[in-house]
Chains A and B, each alone.
Chain A
């Protein structure tokens, strides 16, 4: 009888939730559309913009250099750079983006270099401005190449090998498998997203099923039926939990598909970016399942806590004002897990959201610390059970149900 009643309440709440436009938008549409828009939308836009910026032939002003024809000729021959003659307002022209950079060749540069006197070539640019930085890079690369050639000539003149100046090379080589690299790079984000979305998914139904019910006057109707308040609260709780997990699942699915599409798209247009986006493809079903398993007690905790808080409110609006600050409380430990150097320890494992976020990072990297997994899962289950117990107790209190 008891499970039957919980099921009856759950089915009814599910029917109502599916018919509620606001719930459908917040639980289904937003998570499904958020990632495609954020990743594919903004990602491809960024790629297009960067591509366009790279294709542009920037104007670079030459300051001085009349007595250094070799350098100037070399600059003029550079691909996709337009060298413009010197004017006095070159600074303003850079700021107003009419030219992208200016290169200052000091007087007697070529002669001084030949005499081995120290010289400095200055490149003026607009820091942080993408097109200006591209132009600067091209000029900088050319000047360094010029300098290397001078060094080679000097060494050759003295019959010295190039290894005099460059006795050895330093190279970095990654030995971690791709899933570990992706874990370190995006593991924190996955945990953070799953936790945040569990909460956003739970938030709307938590308010609708408690404060919303009070506001619409149906609380008294349901309380006059023979169902026990414990079964009633469990039925409602299960619906909130479904919304929390559903939102998180849809988001992860949408995120996976979006990044795959993005990776495919970028691999055709800009090879470098594909590697970064492609990292997500190493999330196997086992990893996703383990992340979700660990998110389950957190989702239970959120659902129970949000329901309890929203139950205190008399109206939907009042519930919103109580729950909105909760977002920040939950986001802070989740963000903390993404800070560099914050590693999973047994002490941090006991902090509800932080522990799970850090663990998700490890799970995505394919590392399974079984002791900590057990500790986090158990402690979260304890917190979740306590929150659910409080929710049930609150539902028994007339001062909460009939607050006026």
Chain B
């Protein structure tokens, strides 16, 4: 489970002064459910997810991830999280298997467990054909599978996906979306950020719309449709976000 409590992140910019990338964001993601964080570019999605994954430290507020506080026990949080984004690249000079093994060892797995886990994951993701190939020789699809294997190697109860299908072709993107669904079916807590409406409609149990660092609204797809009297999620999104866009420009 993820419980974000008033998460805020401020950055100092030489030209623009203080920037509130995330501003007092609170939400909950439950096991066996997918929480979709929907927002435009620069809305604060990545910063929020990076704070949950403890890659960034919150300026204010905190989050409890699988029982551990992101501020107080960041290393324990990371041991319980699988984090995947298009920015999480592979070590090009390692083979696919070495890459996954490296992260398995960093997650404290002993060698017999690691061996078994890798055997299972590589079979499940059909990766045996390229397990000994160096990552710089892999196709985009193979790279994505290797990244997925990395996030799964320690079998974390919480999965964080930051725009995981960004820039991928349809077939590779489908590998990712079916993997996200599989995580939910396996009872994992899943949070996932995107600006692609169709992905949210297909995958998410709860949707949170974020703009200018603020969580503006959240609910199930049905609740949002009722509330804004719109069927199309894109229309709902525009209705929610537009006033804040104006406000931002006026500022």
Contacts and interface: CB of A to CB of B under 8 A. Distances in A.
A225 B107 contact: yes
Interface residues of A, number: 23
Contacts of B93: 15-16, 19-20
A224 B89 contact: no
Nearest to A13: B91
Contacts of A217: 87-89
Contacts of B134: 19
A220 B85 contact: yes
A13 B69 CA distance: 31
Given A12-B91, A12-B94, A15-B93, A220 B106 contact: no
B163 to A, nearest CB: 13
B142 to A, nearest CB: 16
B214 interface: no
B105 A220 contact: no
A216 B135 CA distance: 12
B87 A224 contact: no
Contacts of A309: none
Interface string A219-243: 0110111111000000000000000
B105 A224 contact: no
A34 B35 CA distance: 59
Contacts of B85: 220
Interface string B98-119: 1000110111100000000000
Contacts of B98: 12, 15
Interface residues of B, number: 29
SS of A interface (majority): helix
Interface string A3-45: 0010011001001100110000000000000000000000000
B131 interface: no
Contacts of B79: 226
A8 B55 contact: no
A398 B89 contact: no
A216 B102 CA distance: 17
Given A15-B94, A19-B93, A220 B87 contact: yes
A226 B76 contact: yes
A218 B55 contact: no
A398 B81 CA distance: 20
B83 interface: yes
